[in-house]
Amino acid sequence: MTLHSLTFKYNFTMYKDKQQMIAKIVKEQRIQLNYTQKDLADISNISLRSIQRIEKGEVTPRISTLKILSKFLNFTLDDLDNNQLNGSKKRVTFFREVTISILLICIILLIATAYIAQSKTFPETDFELLMYYSVVNVLLGVILIKLWKNKKIGLLTQSKGKVS
């Protein structure tokens, strides 16, 4: 799998999630206001077929259509952004957490290897070298488990209200 296909698959999934999220909000608001799809189509001047396709999540409506729907269904476009951010923010945060964990592993192993490279007397045997790396790996595992368990790694990955 190439980077391009992975990026496409991720973006396609995000796109489908957005369609489903819009579909859910439009349908819930319509039902809450006791409108049929036909009623909504009549008052909003949007075709019945378009309303049906939006509610099924088959299409992502244009921004002008969303503005009209938001006017008649009493939701704001900010509601859509907030719902979308909540879903995608979790994915982005998870990828950041994994990336930071991998970076932490690489840095600690690099420092451990640098210590051995500069030392003339340590390790004297292969057993000492294996024990040294075993201790480093156990400590690294404990650190990562504590960070993930206490969600401290999440604090390192949070951005100020933005999802990049």
pLDDT at 10 > cutoff 50: no
What's residue 48's pLDDT?
95
Residue keyed to tokens 């595992």: 141
The answer, as to whether pTM is greater than 0.75, is: no
- What DSSP letter does each residue of 13-32 carry, written as one string? HHHHHHHHHHHHHHHHHHHH
Q: Residue 95: how many CB atoms within 10 A of its CB?
A: 12
Measure CA 47 to chain center. 34
Domains and CATH numbers, the chain: 3-75 (1.10.260.40), 81-157 (no CATH)
In this predicted model, what pLDDT tens digit does every residue of 105-161 receive, in sequence order?
Answer: 999 999 999 989 998 888 899 999 999 999 999 999 998 888 887 766 655 555 444
- Residues 6 or more apart whose Cβ sits within 8 Å of residue 61: 22, 50, 54, 69
Asked if 72 and 40 count as a contact pair (C-beta separation under 8 A), the reply is yes
Asked if 55 and 26 count as a contact pair (C-beta separation under 8 A), the reply is yes
In this predicted model, what pLDDT tens digit does every residue of 33-60 receive, in sequence order?
Answer: 999 999 999 999 999 999 999 999 999 8
pLDDT at 81 > cutoff 80: no
What's residue 163's pLDDT?
43
What's residue 108's pLDDT?
92
Of the candidate ranges 16-25, 37-46, 73-82, the one whose mean pLDDT is the lowest: 73-82
What's residue 42's pLDDT?
95
